[in-house]
Amino acid sequence: MLKKLKLRRSHALIFGGITIIGMVIWLWLSYQNKQKWPQTFGYGKTATQQDITKWDIDVRPDGKGLPEGSGNVADGAIIYTNKCAACHGADGKEIKGVKLPGPPLVVGGGKTKTIGNYWPYATTLFDYVRRAMPYNVPGSLTNDEVYSLCAWLLNENKIIKANQIMNARTLPKVEMPAQKLFIVDDRKGGPEVK
């Protein structure tokens, strides 16, 4: 009995000693870190209002954020051929047996999710293309070019007619076939989950 009590006491002393040593090391490192860290590391620069404005280009489902400009299907076809087809194929459909760098954009024979069968809002198309395409020079397209690409892609997906003009007024009115597949998250009173 006395032997067991001595053993427990020695374990408690060892555990307590390790804890105290650990805390001392942690406090010492915290103090050292505060003493050595500079105010800045010399990387980057403080963003100006002009920098922030350049990247504050989001477009909402209702069209808020869409810029001035317009585009049509015919111009979009030319732009697509010159700036998009290298990655997405000549008609935006996935070619069987050929792995494209970019996914198919137009509804084809398969069940792959595309703009035409999966995207809920047409305005998202503008936001994404302007922000991320073409792959090698994202953000290089003019607003008119982006509107024209949206028009061409929506027409190729049989969502709009070939004579429709896309702009800040018409694009938000395009009803995407997949919109009914999405449920608006309107839960309240808890953490926001999107």
Q: pLDDT for 40-49, tens place per residue?
A: 888 988 899 9
- In the chain, what are the domains? 69-180 (1.10.760.10)
- Per DSSP, what are the bridge partners of residue 167? 70
Residue 103 contacts residue 94 (beta carbons within 8 Å): yes
Distance between alpha carbon 41 and the CA centroid of its chain, in Å?
A: 28
Distance CA(163)–CA(14), nearest Å, equals 82
Distance CA(70)–CA(148), nearest Å, equals 7
Q: pLDDT for 124-148, tens place per residue?
A: 999 999 999 998 999 999 999 999 9
Distance between alpha carbon 20 and the CA centroid of its chain, in Å?
A: 47
Distance CA(102)–CA(92), nearest Å, equals 9
pTM attached to this predicted model = 0.72
Q: pLDDT for 84-123, tens place per residue?
A: 998 888 888 877 777 777 788 988 777 788 999 999 999 9
- pLDDT for 154 equals 97
- Looking at this protein, which amino acid is placed at residue 175? E
Distance CA(136)–CA(27), nearest Å, equals 49
Q: Tell me: pLDDT of 170 over 80.
A: yes
Q: Tell me: pLDDT of 4 over 80.
A: no
Distance CA(141)–CA(152), nearest Å, equals 15
- pLDDT for 193 equals 61
- pLDDT for 92 equals 87
- pLDDT for 194 equals 55
The separation between the first and the last C-alpha atoms of the chain, rounded to the nearest angstrom, is 61
pLDDT averaged over every residue in the chain:
88
Nearest to 122 by CA among 82, 98, 155, 86: 155
Pure H helices in the chain = 2-36, 49-55, 73-83, 85-88, 115-118, 122-132, 143-156
73: tokens are 């299907």
- Looking at this protein, which amino acid is placed at residue 191? P
- Residue 192 pLDDT grade (very low, low, confident, very high; cuts 50, 70, 90): low
